[in-house]
């Protein structure tokens, strides 16, 4: 695929959410490892549930940080746990310090070495994404595009239009690297070519919107793209 820009979903495609957050949750809340993983999965699920609701409420976009806080409070309630506000804030800020997948830096560098620009294209708030970008090698990303600018969350087409709206790059000159079925659906429905880094061996819910290519992790992206 020839392109000028490769965009990356950050939370699912580039970051190890469970591997990063479960040990912190386990230590902070005194949960065993299995329960901590289940807590993080519920936290992520409710975070995305609230973000999805934001697209449908006919209200201004609920900040992703607020979605994260609401989801954490939900999980704490389900587990009948409480904590000081400072500790709660520390858990929310842990989303800014999550670890990239082991191959992420090298895989993105290989794409850049082929002459393509790279960008984050994510549901996170701008300040969250700016913080997350610092977890990668310096100069990894040329641009950081947030759903905050679009005023909607994925899979709304306004998010996938950001490279055109903000950078002036036509959609047919962009390849998006997704990490979740929902992101694949949104990108393909918007008319964007999409590589799915499907490390969890998940499935697409709606077969009308398959990825352009499916790979097992980020290391295969550079073999699929060339600079136009």
Domain positions in the chain: 2-15+99-227, 17-97
**Cβ–Cβ under 8 Å, residues 36 and 23:** yes
CA distance linking residue 51 with residue 165, whole number of Å: 22
- Cβ contacts of residue 138 below 8 Å, gap of 6+? none
Asked if pLDDT for residue 23 goes beyond 90, the answer is: yes
Interval 124-145: pLDDT, tens? 999 999 999 999 999 999 999 9
Which pair of tokens denotes residue 65?
Answer: 């940080």
Asked if pLDDT for residue 184 goes beyond 90, the answer is: yes
Interval 76-106: pLDDT, tens? 999 999 888 999 999 999 999 999 999 999 9
| Mean pLDDT confidence for 199-212 | 96
Asked if pLDDT for residue 37 goes beyond 90, the answer is: yes
**Cβ–Cβ under 8 Å, residues 118 and 142:** yes
What CATH architecture does domain 2-15+99-227 belong to? 3-Layer(aba) Sandwich (3.40)
The third-level CATH classification (topology) of the domain covering 17-97 is DNA polymerase; domain 1 (1.10.150)
Average pLDDT, the chain: 96
Asked if pLDDT for residue 33 goes beyond 90, the answer is: yes
Largest CA distance in the chain: 55
Which pair of tokens denotes residue 154?
Answer: 């994925």
Asked if pLDDT for residue 114 goes beyond 90, the answer is: yes
Q: Same CATH topology for 2-15+99-227 and 17-97?
A: no
């Amino acid at each position: 695929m020839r392109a000028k820009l490769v965009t990356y979903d950050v939370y699912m495609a580039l970051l190890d959410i469970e591997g990063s957050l479960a040990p912190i949750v386990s230590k902070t809340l005194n949960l065993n490892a299995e329960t901590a993983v289940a807590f993080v999965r519920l936290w992520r699920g409710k975070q995305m549930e609230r973000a999805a609701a934001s697209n449908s409420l006919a209200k201004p976009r609920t900040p992703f940080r607020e979605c994260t806080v609401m989801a954490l409070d939900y999980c704490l309630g389900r587990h009948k746990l409480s904590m000081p506000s400072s500790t709660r804030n520390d858990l929310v800020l842990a989303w800014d310090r999550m670890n990239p997948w082991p191959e992420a830096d090298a895989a993105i560098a290989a794409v850049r070495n082929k002459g393509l620009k790279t960008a984050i294209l994510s549901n996170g708030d701008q300040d969250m994404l700016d913080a997350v970008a610092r977890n990668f090698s310096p100069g990894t990303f040329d641009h950081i595009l947030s759903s905050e600018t679009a005023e909607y969350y994925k899979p709304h087409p306004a998010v996938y239009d950001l490279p055109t709206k903000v950078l002036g790059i036509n959609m047919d000159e962009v390849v998006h690297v997704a990490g979740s079925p929902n992101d694949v659906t949104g990108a393909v429905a918007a008319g964007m070519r999409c590589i799915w880094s499907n490390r969890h061996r998940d499935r697409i819910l709606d077969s009308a919107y398959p990825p352009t290519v499916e790979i097992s992790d980020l290391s295969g992206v550079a073999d699929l793209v060339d600079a136009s």
